[in-house]
A and B are shown apart, each in its own frame.
Chain A
């Protein structure tokens, strides 16, 4: 079974703090993704990565950065957390065999609250 794990299920941070969200997949997948999920808006793509050290902006990258130093690990960084970044963050990975039709496998999510 593919397993995507996220470092925390719940996280509470203060405005202005630097926040790291970690994601690890154990299936040697090429592609990894970060989404945020908000009620009524579905999932929106923040950043994704096709390969180690490569990253692409998604639909809402402002206020976020990412790091992929190893194939299995993809980190989302909030440089200076703000209250409007309070959300559920979901990480996903996909094999990279056929990028358009690959199944994405999701982690359980991290619910981040910024006070």
Chain B
């Protein structure tokens, strides 16, 4: 069965530090992969997505993610975190029928 695991429930980083959020998926075929962000009190917003081509994907707000088939991973990175990045981050895999299967989410806190 398809599944997505985000091993870190909560991460705290200092402002200006680099960030990596982990995502592992289980999917039989080539996956369609997404990262969404949910700021407090708001709906989810797409950061980036991967479905083919270059395995390093650039997104909005300075985020990027790398698809590694051998590790079944799609980790999200940002070189320098801003206080406004504090939010909950969700990784998702899409099936051929258009359904998204979401991970449990990682809550990011940013220390001044």
B90 touches A4 (CB 8 A): no
How many chain B residues have a CB neighbour from A under 8 Å? 27
Nearest neighbor of B105 in chain A, beta-carbon distance: A42
Which of the four size classes fits the interface of chain A?
A: 20 to 34
Would you call B102 an interface residue if the criterion is a C-beta within 8 Å of the partner chain's C-beta atoms? Answer: yes
Chain A: which residue is nearest B50 at the CB level?
Answer: A101
**Interface status of B100 (Cβ within 8 A of chain A):** yes
The answer to whether B46 and A104 touch across the interface, beta carbons within 8 angstroms, is yes
A107 to B41, CA, bound (A): 11
Tell me, in angstroms, the Cα distance from A4 to B42 when the chains sit together.
Answer: 11
CA–CA, A41 to B43, complex, Å? Answer: 16
What are the residues of chain A within 8 A of B90 when measuring CB–CB? Answer: 42-43
Q: How many A-B residue contacts, CB cutoff 8 Å?
A: 62
Q: Tell me how far the C-beta of B24 lies from the nearest C-beta in chain A, rounded to whole angstroms.
A: 14
**Chain B residues in the interface with A (C-beta under 8 A):** 4, 6, 9, 32, 36, 41-46, 49, 51, 90, 92, 94-105
Further contacts, 13 of them, CB under 8 A, given A44-B102, A99-B96:
A41-B104, A42-B4, A42-B104, A45-B99, A48-B98, A94-B98, A100-B32, A100-B51, A100-B96, A100-B97, A100-B98, A101-B32, A101-B51
| Residue contacts A-B, CB under 8 angstroms, 20 given | A4-B43, A35-B102, A42-B102, A43-B44, A43-B102, A45-B101, A50-B98, A90-B43, A92-B43, A99-B98, A100-B51, A100-B94, A101-B51, A101-B94, A105-B46, A106-B43, A106-B45, A108-B43, A109-B42, A109-B43
